[in-house]
C-alpha cells in the first residue's frame, strides 16, 4: 500500500512539473511563432535599432529602440534607488533590529509586496509626479520602492544563512558589531544579496501599470531624467487593445524582446545560485 501511495505521489509531482514545463514551452512557442515573422517583415535591424514608432503613418514605422533604452534607464534607476535601500534594510532586520521592532517592521515590508501595482501608480501620481513630473525619474523612484520587498526578503534570508561563527569570530578578533556585519557577514552573503538584486531587476523590468501612470509614455529616445519615456511593457499594454495585422504582430515581437530580457535575468539568477551553492 505504501509503495502504491509513493508511486501515485511521484506521478502527481511529475505531472505538475510537466505541466509547468509545458506551459513555459507553449508561451515560448506562441511568442516566437507570432513575433519572429513580424521581425522578418519589418527587418530585424530596423525593428531593434529603429528610433521611430509610428504604426498609424503611411508607411508605418516600428522601431523599438526608444522603448528598449527607456526600459533599461528606468530599470537601472530603480535598482540604483532600491537596491542599496533594500540591502541596508535587510542588514538592519537581520543584524540590528530589536525583536519587538522587528515584529512591526517585517510585516510592513511584506505588506509592500501585496499592494497592487495600480495603487502604487496612484501613489506615484499623488506624491511623486507633482515633484518630478511624468518622467523617467518618477518611474525610477516608484519602481525603486516597488522592488524593496523582493530585495529585502531575499537579502535578509541570505544574511541569516551565514553561520553565526563568522560574526563571532570577527568579534573575537576585535572588530566591532557594525564592522563585523559589513566586513564579514555581508561579504559572506554576497551571492544571495546579488541574487536579490537580480530578482529586483526582473521585478522592475516587467512592471507595467505603475510605470504607465507616472512615466509619461512618450515613444521617443530618452533625453533627460525629467522627460517622459515609454517602456517595452507599457508599449504593449497601451496599444494592444486596438492593434491589428502587422501592428499587432510588432507588439508581440516586442514581447519576444522583453521575454529574452527576462530570460537573461533568470539565467543570471541561476548562475548566481549555483555559484553560491558551490
- Here the CATH number for the domain that contains residue 139 is 1.10.3720.10
Residue 278 pLDDT greater than 70, yes or no = no
Tens digits of per-residue pLDDT, 38-55?
A: 888 888 889 998 888 888
**pTM for the predicted model, two decimal places:** 0.86
Q: How many domains does the chain have?
A: 1
Residue 25, in any domain of the structure: no
**3-state SS string for the chain:** CHHHHHHHHHHHHHHHHHHHHHHHHHHHHHHHHHHHHHHHHHCHHHHHHCCCEECCCCCCEECCHHHHHHHHHHHHHHHHHHHHHHHHHHHHHHHHCCHHHHHHHHHHHHHHHHCCHHHHHHHHHHHHHHHHCCCHHHHHHHHHHHCHHHHHHHHHHHHHCCCHHHHHHHHHCCCCHHHHHHHHHHHHCHHHHHHHHHHHHHHHHCCCHHHHHHCECCCCCCCCCCCCECCHHHHHHHHHCCCCHHHHHHHHHHHHHHHHHHHHHHHHHHHHHHHHHC
Tens digits of per-residue pLDDT, 220-267?
A: 888 888 988 999 999 998 888 888 888 899 999 999 998 888 888 778
Residue 137, in any domain of the structure: yes
**What pLDDT shows up at residue 214?**
93
Residue 226, in any domain of the structure: yes
Domain that holds residue 260: 61-277
Tens digits of per-residue pLDDT, 69-85?
A: 999 999 999 999 999 99
Q: How confident is the model at residue 27 (pLDDT cuts 50, 70, 90)?
A: confident
**What pLDDT shows up at residue 82?**
93
Mean pLDDT over the full length of the chain:
87
Residue 10, in any domain of the structure: no
Amino acid at each position: 500500500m505504501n509503495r502504491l501511495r509513493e508511486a501515485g505521489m511521484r506521478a502527481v509531482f511529475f505531472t505538475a512539473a510537466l505541466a509547468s514545463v509545458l506551459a513555459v514551452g507553449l508561451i515560448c512557442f506562441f511568442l516566437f511563432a507570432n513575433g519572429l515573422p513580424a521581425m522578418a517583415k519589418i527587418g530585424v535591424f530596423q525593428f531593434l535599432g529603429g528610433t521611430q514608432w509610428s504604426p498609424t503613418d503611411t508607411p508605418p514605422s516600428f522601431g523599438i529602440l526608444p522603448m528598449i533604452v527607456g526600459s533599461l534607464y528606468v530599470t537601472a534607476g530603480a535598482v540604483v534607488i532600491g537596491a542599496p535601500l533594500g540591502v541596508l534594510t535587510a542588514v538592519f532586520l537581520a543584524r540590528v533590529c530589536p525583536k519587538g521592532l522587528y515584529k512591526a517592521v517585517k510585516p510592513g515590508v511584506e505588506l509592500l509586496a501585496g499592494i497592487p501595482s495600480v495603487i502604487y501608480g496612484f501613489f506615484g501620481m499623488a506624491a511623486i509626479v507633482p515633484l518630478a513630473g511624468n518622467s523617467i525619474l518618477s518611474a525610477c523612484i516608484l519602481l525603486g520602492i516597488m522592488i524593496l520587498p523582493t530585495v529585502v526578503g531575499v537579502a535578509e534570508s541570505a544574511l541569516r544563512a551565514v553561520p553565526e561563527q563568522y560574526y563571532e569570530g570577527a568579534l573575537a578578533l576585535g572588530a566591532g558589531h557594525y564592522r563585523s556585519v559589513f566586513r564579514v557577514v555581508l561579504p559572506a552573503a554576497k551571492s544571495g544579496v546579488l541574487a536579490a538584486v537580480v530578482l529586483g531587476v526582473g521585478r522592475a523590468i516587467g512592471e507595467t501599470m505603475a510605470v504607465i501612470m507616472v512615466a509619461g509614455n512618450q515613444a521617443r529616445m530618452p533625453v533627460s531624467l525629467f522627460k517622459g519615456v515609454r517602456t517595452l511593457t507599457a508599449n504593449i499594454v497601451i496599444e494592444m487593445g486596438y492593434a491589428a495585422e502587422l501592428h499587432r504582430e510588432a507588439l508581440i515581437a516586442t514581447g519576444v524582446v522583453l521575454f529574452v530580457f527576462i530570460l537573461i535575468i533568470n539565467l543570471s539568477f541561476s548562475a548566481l545560485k549555483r555559484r553560491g551553492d558551490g
